[in-house]
Chains A and B, each alone.
Chain A
């Protein structure tokens, strides 16, 4: 099931070198959404009956659901034309974006980040990535020896049907919200990960390591099951900008962290700024388990994403580090949710947002302590930095605490890029622009230092690019 784009196939030659392609004929669903489209998707994937029913039921839910009433940019949401979207494109067909059609600013950013040519084409949806298969082959072998399952979601469903059926849709039910329902109906791609008891996966798993599947689908679905005492760090996406002609990206991520296990899920979202990024991410953590979300949002037109953790059993710990940068015309509506269900659970949310020009950031958070979750502790800290007079930031922290014996702290701050900070750094010889970049990079440092090194470096560079021409 090798993914080959037509141009690459031309270059390699037609099948004769044993390059085998077992894909079904190219298929692109008609625009618009109805039961027939969903049946077609499920049929083409040769899915089991239960998944088809799950999709159809989800579709009905989607049609019934309204947009969330609390949305920060309702006008943007209303502008989404669901009938203009193509809900399913075979990977073989999707690669047909012409490199010449990729916007200049994306190409510029590739240049400045120093992304290798092959990777650029892949990221821009203009090429398949052959090299990576060789590079990551060894990593995959190591994982297999440990019994770690790391597949595309479609493949996971085909090979581990029972495991998927047991957990799929249990953490984020289709009825959770309109976009989760949409994803449940038309999902395609994403990752399926199972880590056996006691196994520590030392290398962060990245979507790149997977073969034969797209890493950046429009309606991705990811399911991670970390069995007792295991550890895994999953890194989704990358810091380079992802160009997409699709206007809507709506993913669902479900994570189950069993007793004594620990999962870290890192995202650097950098969609091109025509994309709506409406994502539901949720984890359940059991006894003494640790769940950590590190969530960075740089790109997109509108992002609405609030990774959440349900602390189900005593000793469970949840952590959410959220970083958002909104440039001109962008709205980053991000944050996190923690629900303390069991006693002696703990959580921390740290949010850092930067807005520039007409960019807007919103922190939206929920901290809920259910009755009986005594001895729970939680700290929430959100800091916003405004780079100029026009930028905007709002904070919507919700707290529902139904238990008295808890320890909860909340701090919030909004600051403006200070003249005193700029002058201080300029008096050390830095230009005004360098000084501004330094202040912003310092501001986001508490989140960036949690990233794997290469991502941290790229993210800092990316923020610097975003900052160019912003001061003075």
Chain B
């Protein structure tokens, strides 16, 4: 693993090269149709796009979900080709996916999961005192009650609690790359602010963020360095934060029209 310093920070943390992805259950259907993307340490990239454009598929494929098949192209992480690696190997290298729909694991407490995940990451069990101290800090940042850590993972959580639990894991695992798959969906205004401010607080100059969202509103709290618009499995526009503001104002229709696609897909 290469340490991040001034010189190497120019090297992409994540590099996606002409990636094509289909669904394992139905390989005929290609969803991601050739995507190139490079995220450097400290950068925040927002990936936006209408429903069904392939955002979540791209996120899951980068994280190594077995539900998807990479037909061609490569995923490089920290300078290594990880295309053939399983999700756990990628995670141990410092990749983190915040799920759009986190899965309940009944009977397993958040604390238990966090300890196991940190152990998997570093190779040894985190010392109890430091673990607790870090846990308290992150819980405070996310305005989560301490009892929360003793609840079973995502089991009976409200939509907001699920997203907070994801960001709690982000804060404990301190990954090099955080992929946030619609972390803003299903949240009311207050919950959104807490979660988004939490992400901002946890962001550091060595961490790259790929933030997948349908709406611009989370970007009010987390300012992206780059905004990409994904339509029908391809990145069709890339720009700065202003691109997100234009989408906020006009929706996706103008972009779709320029592409000669039927408007109204983005609602």
Contact = CB atoms under 8 A, between A and B. Distances in A.
Interface of A: 418-421, 423-432, 434-435, 438-439, 441-446
B86 A426 contact: yes
Give the residue among B88, B102, B120 with the most A Cβ atoms within 10 A: B88
Interface in B118-148: 120-121
Nearest to A445: B107
A421 B120 contact: no
A428 B94 CA distance: 9
6 contacts: A419-B66, A425-B105, A427-B90, A428-B169, A430-B88, A442-B108
Nearest to B65: A423
A424 B106 CA distance: 13
B120 A430 contact: yes
Contacts of A441: 107-108
Give the residue among B90, B120, B169 with the most A Cβ atoms within 10 A: B120
A443 B106 contact: yes
Give the residue among A420, A424, A438 with the most B Cβ atoms within 10 A: A424
Contacts of B90: 427
B91 A429 contact: yes
B117 A430 contact: yes
A428 B120 contact: yes
Interface in B69-125: 86-88, 90-92, 96-97, 99, 102-103, 105-108, 112-113, 116-117, 120-121
B62 to A, nearest CB: 11
A175 B117 CA distance: 55
A40 B199 CA distance: 78
A434 B116 contact: yes
Contact of A438 (B67, B88, B108): B108
B64 interface: yes
Contacts of A425: 105, 113
B107 A423 contact: no
Contacts of A446: 107
Give the residue among A426, A428, A430, A443 with the most B Cβ atoms within 10 A: A428
Interface string B181-220: 0000000000000000000000000000000000000000
Given A427-B63, A429-B92, A438 B116 contact: yes
A420 B88 CA distance: 13
Interface in B143-170: 152-153, 169
Contacts of B99: 424, 427
B106 A434 contact: no
Contacts of A427: 63-65, 87-88, 90-91, 96-97, 99
B173 interface: yes
Give the residue among B92, B105, B112 with the most A Cβ atoms within 10 A: B105
Given A420-B103, A427-B97, A442-B106, A432 B86 contact: yes
B117 A428 contact: yes
Give the residue among B87, B121, B169 with the most A Cβ atoms within 10 A: B87
Given A423-B65, A442-B153, A444-B107, 17 more contacts: A418-B103, A424-B99, A424-B102, A425-B113, A426-B64, A427-B87, A427-B88, A427-B99, A429-B91, A429-B92, A429-B120, A434-B120, A439-B105, A439-B108, A441-B107, A442-B105, A445-B107
Contacts of A434: 116, 120
Contacts of B105: 421, 424-425, 438-439, 442
Contacts of A439: 105, 108
Nearest to A449: B107
Nearest to A472: B86
Contacts of A424: 99, 102-103, 105
Interface residues of B, number: 30
A428 B64 CA distance: 12
Given A423-B87, A429-B91, A430-B88, A442 B64 contact: no
* 7 smallest beta-carbon distances between A and B, as pairs: A442-B107, A445-B107, A429-B120, A442-B108, A428-B117, A429-B91, A426-B88
Interface string B168-179: 010001000000
A405 to B, nearest CB: 32
A432 B66 CA distance: 12
Give the residue among A429, A432, A439 with the most B Cβ atoms within 10 A: A429
Contacts of A438: 105, 108, 112-113, 116
Contacts of B169: 428
Contacts of B87: 423, 426-427
Nearest to B179: A427
Contact of B116 (A419, A430, A444): A430
Nearest to A446: B107
Contact of B108 (A419, A420, A429, A445): A445
A429 B121 contact: yes
A428 B91 contact: yes
A409 B97 CA distance: 39
A7 B88 CA distance: 51
Contact of A432 (B88, B106, B107, B121): B88
A210 B119 CA distance: 42
A211 B158 CA distance: 55
A421 B103 contact: yes
A312 to B, nearest CB: 34
Nearest to B106: A442
Contacts of A426: 64, 86-88, 91
Nearest to B98: A427
B103 A442 contact: no
A429 B123 CA distance: 10
Give the residue among A420, A432, A446 with the most B Cβ atoms within 10 A: A420
A424 B63 CA distance: 10
A432 B88 CA distance: 8
Give the residue among A420, A423, A439, A445 with the most B Cβ atoms within 10 A: A423
Contacts of A445: 106-108
A423 B113 CA distance: 14
Nearest to B60: A423
A444 B152 CA distance: 13
A431 B116 CA distance: 11
Contacts of B88: 426-427, 429-432, 435
A183 B153 CA distance: 46
Nearest to A415: B106
B176 to A, nearest CB: 13
Nearest to B86: A426
A424 B67 CA distance: 12
A418 B66 CA distance: 12
A432 B99 CA distance: 18
Contact of A443 (B86, B96, B107, B113): B107
Contacts of B173: 428-429
